[in-house]
Amino acid sequence: MEATFVLYPNMTALDFVGPFEVLGSVPVVTARFVAASLEPVKSDNGLVVVPTDTFSAVKSTDIIVVPGSGHWRELLKDSGGVVEWLREVHPTTKWTTSVCTGSTLLAEAGLVSKATTHWAARSDLSDRGVEVSEDRVVFDGKVVTGAGVSAGIDMALRLVEAEFGEMVAQAVQVGIEYDPQPPRSYDSIPPEVAAGLKAAFESRQA
Protein backbone atom coordinates (compact mmCIF):
# COMPACT_ATOMS: atom_id res chain seq x y z
CA MET A 1 0.00 0.00 0.00
CA GLU A 2 1.30 3.42 -0.97
CA ALA A 3 1.13 6.49 1.28
CA THR A 4 1.85 9.84 -0.34
CA PHE A 5 2.84 12.76 1.89
CA VAL A 6 2.24 16.26 0.52
CA LEU A 7 5.09 18.75 0.92
CA TYR A 8 4.93 22.52 0.50
CA PRO A 9 6.84 25.53 1.86
CA ASN A 10 6.12 26.42 5.51
CA MET A 11 4.36 23.14 6.28
CA THR A 12 4.56 21.97 9.90
CA ALA A 13 7.09 19.15 10.14
CA LEU A 14 5.44 17.03 12.86
CA ASP A 15 2.19 17.04 10.87
CA PHE A 16 3.71 14.65 8.34
CA VAL A 17 6.59 13.14 10.33
CA GLY A 18 4.21 11.77 12.98
CA PRO A 19 1.95 9.96 10.48
CA PHE A 20 5.03 8.88 8.50
CA GLU A 21 6.50 7.13 11.56
CA VAL A 22 3.19 5.40 12.25
CA LEU A 23 2.41 4.32 8.69
CA GLY A 24 6.05 3.52 8.00
CA SER A 25 5.97 1.01 10.86
CA VAL A 26 3.61 -1.17 8.81
CA PRO A 27 5.80 -3.29 6.50
CA VAL A 28 3.39 -3.27 3.56
CA VAL A 29 3.26 0.54 3.43
CA THR A 30 5.65 2.41 1.15
CA ALA A 31 6.04 6.17 1.27
CA ARG A 32 6.29 8.87 -1.38
CA PHE A 33 6.85 12.57 -0.82
CA VAL A 34 5.20 14.77 -3.42
CA ALA A 35 5.64 18.49 -4.07
CA ALA A 36 5.39 21.06 -6.84
CA SER A 37 9.00 20.33 -7.83
CA LEU A 38 11.89 18.13 -6.73
CA GLU A 39 13.59 21.04 -4.99
CA PRO A 40 14.04 20.64 -1.20
CA VAL A 41 11.08 21.95 0.80
CA LYS A 42 11.59 23.86 4.06
CA SER A 43 9.09 23.52 6.91
CA ASP A 44 7.89 26.47 8.99
CA ASN A 45 10.54 25.73 11.63
CA GLY A 46 13.36 25.06 9.19
CA LEU A 47 13.39 21.29 8.62
CA VAL A 48 14.30 20.58 4.98
CA VAL A 49 12.75 17.60 3.19
CA VAL A 50 13.55 16.36 -0.31
CA PRO A 51 10.53 15.27 -2.39
CA THR A 52 10.58 11.97 -4.26
CA ASP A 53 7.94 12.97 -6.82
CA THR A 54 6.19 15.98 -8.33
CA PHE A 55 2.46 16.66 -8.46
CA SER A 56 2.51 16.16 -12.21
CA ALA A 57 4.02 12.67 -11.83
CA VAL A 58 1.60 11.29 -9.25
CA LYS A 59 -1.85 10.62 -10.68
CA SER A 60 -3.06 8.08 -8.13
CA THR A 61 -2.19 6.75 -4.68
CA ASP A 62 -3.72 4.72 -1.87
CA ILE A 63 -3.32 7.21 0.97
CA ILE A 64 -2.79 10.96 0.92
CA VAL A 65 -1.49 12.77 4.01
CA VAL A 66 -1.76 16.56 3.94
CA PRO A 67 0.13 18.41 6.69
CA GLY A 68 -0.91 21.78 7.99
CA SER A 69 0.95 25.05 8.36
CA GLY A 70 1.02 27.96 10.76
CA HIS A 71 0.58 30.13 7.66
CA TRP A 72 -2.61 28.43 6.52
CA ARG A 73 -4.52 31.55 5.43
CA GLU A 74 -1.70 32.59 3.13
CA LEU A 75 -1.67 29.06 1.77
CA LEU A 76 -5.40 29.15 1.11
CA LYS A 77 -4.86 32.16 -1.14
CA ASP A 78 -2.15 30.34 -3.12
CA SER A 79 -1.56 26.67 -2.35
CA GLY A 80 1.18 26.28 -4.94
CA GLY A 81 -0.79 23.59 -6.75
CA VAL A 82 -1.71 21.53 -3.68
CA VAL A 83 -5.46 22.14 -3.89
CA GLU A 84 -5.61 21.38 -7.61
CA TRP A 85 -3.59 18.17 -7.15
CA LEU A 86 -5.84 17.04 -4.31
CA ARG A 87 -8.94 17.47 -6.47
CA GLU A 88 -7.32 15.42 -9.22
CA VAL A 89 -5.97 12.55 -7.13
CA HIS A 90 -8.62 12.23 -4.40
CA PRO A 91 -10.97 10.09 -6.56
CA THR A 92 -8.21 7.44 -6.80
CA THR A 93 -7.47 7.13 -3.07
CA LYS A 94 -8.65 4.68 -0.47
CA TRP A 95 -7.99 7.26 2.23
CA THR A 96 -7.44 11.02 2.01
CA THR A 97 -6.17 12.46 5.28
CA SER A 98 -4.96 15.67 6.84
CA VAL A 99 -3.37 16.91 10.02
CA CYS A 100 -3.93 20.24 11.74
CA THR A 101 -4.72 23.06 9.29
CA GLY A 102 -4.21 20.67 6.39
CA SER A 103 -7.97 20.14 6.64
CA THR A 104 -8.49 23.69 5.36
CA LEU A 105 -6.81 22.60 2.11
CA LEU A 106 -9.18 19.63 1.86
CA ALA A 107 -12.05 22.04 2.45
CA GLU A 108 -10.77 24.45 -0.19
CA ALA A 109 -10.65 21.52 -2.61
CA GLY A 110 -14.23 20.62 -1.72
CA LEU A 111 -13.34 17.14 -0.46
CA VAL A 112 -14.71 17.13 3.09
CA SER A 113 -18.02 17.87 4.81
CA LYS A 114 -17.07 17.24 8.47
CA ALA A 115 -13.57 17.69 9.87
CA THR A 116 -11.37 18.68 12.76
CA THR A 117 -8.38 21.02 12.74
CA HIS A 118 -6.17 23.14 14.96
CA TRP A 119 -8.29 25.29 17.27
CA ALA A 120 -6.98 28.48 15.61
CA ALA A 121 -8.34 27.46 12.19
CA ARG A 122 -11.86 26.29 13.07
CA SER A 123 -13.47 29.42 11.64
CA ASP A 124 -11.69 28.88 8.31
CA LEU A 125 -13.21 25.41 8.05
CA SER A 126 -16.65 26.70 8.98
CA ASP A 127 -16.40 29.50 6.42
CA ARG A 128 -15.94 26.82 3.74
CA GLY A 129 -19.15 25.03 4.64
CA VAL A 130 -17.52 22.29 6.70
CA GLU A 131 -19.08 20.96 9.89
CA VAL A 132 -16.34 21.57 12.45
CA SER A 133 -15.63 19.02 15.16
CA GLU A 134 -13.41 19.45 18.21
CA ASP A 135 -12.64 15.71 18.26
CA ARG A 136 -9.05 14.55 18.06
CA VAL A 137 -9.75 12.47 14.91
CA VAL A 138 -12.74 12.61 12.54
CA PHE A 139 -13.75 10.09 9.86
CA ASP A 140 -15.90 11.52 7.06
CA GLY A 141 -16.24 8.62 4.66
CA LYS A 142 -12.77 7.99 3.29
CA VAL A 143 -11.55 11.40 4.49
CA VAL A 144 -9.82 11.34 7.87
CA THR A 145 -8.74 14.52 9.65
CA GLY A 146 -6.61 15.01 12.75
CA ALA A 147 -6.65 18.03 15.04
CA GLY A 148 -3.58 20.12 15.83
CA VAL A 149 -0.02 18.94 15.10
CA SER A 150 0.57 15.97 17.44
CA ALA A 151 -2.92 14.65 16.62
CA GLY A 152 -1.42 13.39 13.37
CA ILE A 153 -0.05 10.44 15.34
CA ASP A 154 -3.52 9.63 16.67
CA MET A 155 -5.00 10.03 13.20
CA ALA A 156 -2.47 7.64 11.67
CA LEU A 157 -2.99 5.05 14.41
CA ARG A 158 -6.75 5.18 13.83
CA LEU A 159 -6.10 4.79 10.12
CA VAL A 160 -3.85 1.78 10.69
CA GLU A 161 -6.56 0.23 12.85
CA ALA A 162 -9.20 0.83 10.17
CA GLU A 163 -7.03 -0.61 7.41
CA PHE A 164 -5.04 -3.37 9.12
CA GLY A 165 -6.87 -4.11 12.38
CA GLU A 166 -6.61 -3.35 16.07
CA MET A 167 -3.72 -5.71 16.75
CA VAL A 168 -1.50 -4.06 14.14
CA ALA A 169 -2.39 -0.60 15.46
CA GLN A 170 -1.56 -1.68 19.01
CA ALA A 171 1.77 -3.12 17.89
CA VAL A 172 2.68 0.14 16.13
CA GLN A 173 1.61 2.19 19.14
CA VAL A 174 3.78 0.15 21.52
CA GLY A 175 6.63 0.14 19.01
CA ILE A 176 6.80 3.93 18.97
CA GLU A 177 6.04 4.14 22.71
CA TYR A 178 3.12 6.48 22.23
CA ASP A 179 0.49 6.86 24.95
CA PRO A 180 -2.37 9.01 23.63
CA GLN A 181 -3.73 11.46 26.18
CA PRO A 182 -6.50 14.04 25.80
CA PRO A 183 -4.88 17.34 24.87
CA ARG A 184 -5.22 20.47 26.93
CA SER A 185 -7.89 22.70 25.49
CA TYR A 186 -7.36 26.33 24.55
CA ASP A 187 -9.90 27.30 27.23
CA SER A 188 -8.07 25.41 29.98
CA ILE A 189 -4.91 27.53 30.03
CA PRO A 190 -4.49 30.87 31.87
CA PRO A 191 -6.07 33.80 30.01
CA GLU A 192 -2.78 35.65 29.64
CA VAL A 193 -1.16 32.57 28.10
CA ALA A 194 -4.14 32.07 25.78
CA ALA A 195 -4.01 35.71 24.67
CA GLY A 196 -0.32 35.50 23.84
CA LEU A 197 -0.78 32.22 21.99
CA LYS A 198 -3.67 33.59 19.95
CA ALA A 199 -1.68 36.72 19.11
CA ALA A 200 1.25 34.58 17.95
CA PHE A 201 -0.95 32.61 15.56
CA GLU A 202 -2.66 35.73 14.26
CA SER A 203 0.68 37.39 13.57
CA ARG A 204 1.57 34.56 11.19
CA GLN A 205 -1.46 35.40 9.09
CA ALA A 206 -0.54 39.09 8.65
**Do the beta carbons of residue 4 and residue 58 sit within 8 Å?**
yes
Residue of 100, 132, 144, 153 marked active site: 100
DSSP β-ladder status, 53-54 and 30-35: parallel
CB atoms within 10 A of CB 205: 13
Q: Are 32 and 89 in contact (CB under 8 A)?
A: no
| CB neighbours of residue 177 within 10 Å | 6
Single-letter code of the amino acid located at 101: T
10 is catalytic: no
> Taking the CB of residue 24, how many other CB atoms lie within 10 A of it?
16
Tell me the C-alpha distance between 83 and 109, whole Å: 5
90: CB partners within 8 A, 6+ apart: 64, 96, 109, 111
Q: Give the chain's length.
A: 206
Residues annotated as part of the active site: 100
